[in-house]
Amino acid sequence: MPETLSEPDLPRPTALVLGGRTFDAGHPAVMAIINRTPDSFFSGNRHAGLGSAKEALAAAVDLGADIVDVGGVRAGAEGEVVSADEEIARVLPFLEHARGSYPELILSLDTWRSEVARAAAPLGLDLVNDTWAGHDPRLVHVAAEIGAGIVISHTGGLAPRTDPVDVSYGPDRLDVVRDVIRTLSAGAATAQAAGVDREAILVDPTLDFGKTTAHSLEVLRHTADIVALGFPVLQALSRKDFVGESLDLPAEERLEGSLAATAIAAWLGATVFRAHDVRATRRLVDMVATIRGDRAPLLAVRGVRRS
């Protein structure tokens, strides 16, 4: 038995500041997903009707979401073609309702189009979730102009709504991790140069996008190396294909696998978690933060003498 013990050497995440709120190791953020689409890959999150989207918003807030991320276009290659005008028509009424109903809620827009983000600016957008890695180079400048944060992503150079085929980053299995780190570092530098506040820049390794399942699992294992870049890390893991292929399960049955991946990412220092299942994710990340020692238990009476 060792004579001396030391504290676990855990990654220390950089804080994220959005909308006057701070998220860090002790206060991880859950980003609820609301898709204003009829063709989302997960049938449980298709809210083509505004009424359905409003109900989903209220439920997400009640279940503990800190951020709500709304998108108007399916990410994958399947599904209908959506113009910028149609995307705007889908997301703006929702954002207007969300801002009016929950003035303090942090609102995120999942888009790769600068014109969509600019159209949403008057509604008090807090974050632009650029899932397609700067495909529109104007988008980061729009985020800076409107005072919003931005998500820097990694897609292996693929264009929006492109599914990966015959993807390779090199002969070494860690080459994908190296590419992710290089791309996120460069994207964060571009965002800072454009005028986005450093504390409002999130980096997202963007699992599944431009990656095989083996790539995504490797990158997930190296979450701590992404945290070491010095920016808060977003992990969007919920019900993704790398989970489904790992367990050979359809999207509707990937909750437990998603939560396992989330627990690993949280332990390794990720700060923000984009999720379809808000309550389960909220409880999980709070529990991991407590196990890490970054968050105190809400109740601590077991074994304590009562006077």
CB neighbours (10 Å) of residue 219?
24
What pTM was computed for the model?
0.95
Q: What is the pLDDT of residues 111-163, one digit of tens each?
A: 999 999 999 999 999 999 999 999 999 999 999 999 999 999 999 999 999 99
* Per-residue pLDDT at 1 exceeds 70: no
pLDDT value at position 2? 64
For residue 278, give the amino acid letter. Answer: V
Angle between helices 84-101 and 50-62 (to 10 degrees): 40
Secondary structure letter of residue 87 according to DSSP: H
Split at pLDDT 50, 70, 90, the class of 79 is confident
* CA separation for the pair 151, 191 (Å, rounded): 9
**20 token code pair:** 């006057």
Q: Within a 13 Å sphere around the CA of 26, how many CA atoms are in the beta-carbon half? A: 8
State whether the Cα torsion 96-82-69-198 is positive or negative.
negative
Split at pLDDT 50, 70, 90, the class of 80 is confident
Split at pLDDT 50, 70, 90, the class of 292 is very high
Share of the chain above pLDDT 70, in %: 99
User: Which residues, in sequence order, are CB contacts of 93 under 8 Å at separation 6+?
Assistant: 50
Rg for the chain, CA atoms, rounded: 19
Mean pLDDT taken over the chain: 95
* Residue 240 appears among annotated catalytic residues: yes
* Residue 279 appears among annotated catalytic residues: no
Q: In this structure, are strands 67-71 and 29-35 parallel, antiparallel, or unpaired?
A: parallel
Which domains, and CATH codes, for the chain? 28-292 (3.20.20.20)
Cβ pair 116, 107 in contact under 8 A: no
> Residue 10's closest CA among 295, 235, 266?
266
For residue 194, give the amino acid letter. Answer: A
**220 token code pair:** 């997930």
* Per-residue pLDDT at 3 exceeds 80: no
Of the listed 90, 99, 274, 295, which one is catalytic? 274
Of the listed 240, 254, 282, 295, which one is catalytic? 240
- Averaged pLDDT, 93-105: 96
